[in-house]
């Protein structure tokens, strides 16, 4: 929550990976609604951890290979 603007969100998850998904959800909300003080973009390593938690090791390897071929840009099919 941002006390200055009154913008905020409450997220509850019933999963060990809930915080990983919540971070991405908050970033999406901030972008969609033009919130000030948007959360920082997730690092590549953080993206890989989220992909692994949601889709498994094969998806991480695939995304990493795509990242290498793209010259360091974010994987296209990360989430």
Query: 36 and 3, same structural domain?
Result: yes
Structural domain count of the chain: 2
Query: 28 and 2, same structural domain?
Result: yes
Using alpha carbons only, how large is the chain's radius of gyration in Å? 14
Q: Which residue has the higher pLDDT, 71 or 31?
A: 31
Which of helix, strand or coil describes residue 70?
Answer: coil
Say what percent of the chain tops pLDDT 90: 6
pLDDT(58) > 90 = yes
Query: 67 and 55, same structural domain?
Result: yes
Query: 65 and 31, same structural domain?
Result: no
pLDDT at 41: 62
The boundaries of the domain holding residue 33 are 1-40
| pTM score of the predicted model | 0.47
Query: 59 and 79, same structural domain?
Result: yes
Residue 51's Cβ-count burial label (10 Å; 0-12, 13-18, 19+) is buried
Query: 6 and 34, same structural domain?
Result: yes
pLDDT(79) > 50 = no
Query: 61 and 47, same structural domain?
Result: yes
């Amino acid at each position: 929550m941002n006390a200055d603007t009154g913008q905020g969100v409450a997220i509850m998850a019933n999963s060990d990976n809930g915080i990983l998904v919540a971070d991405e959800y908050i970033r999406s909300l901030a972008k969609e609604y033009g919130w000030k003080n948007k959360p920082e973009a997730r690092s590549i390593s953080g993206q890989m951890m989220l992909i692994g938690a949601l889709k498994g090791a094969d998806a991480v390897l695939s995304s990493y290979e795509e990242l290498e071929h793209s010259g360091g840009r974010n994987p296209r099919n990360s989430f």
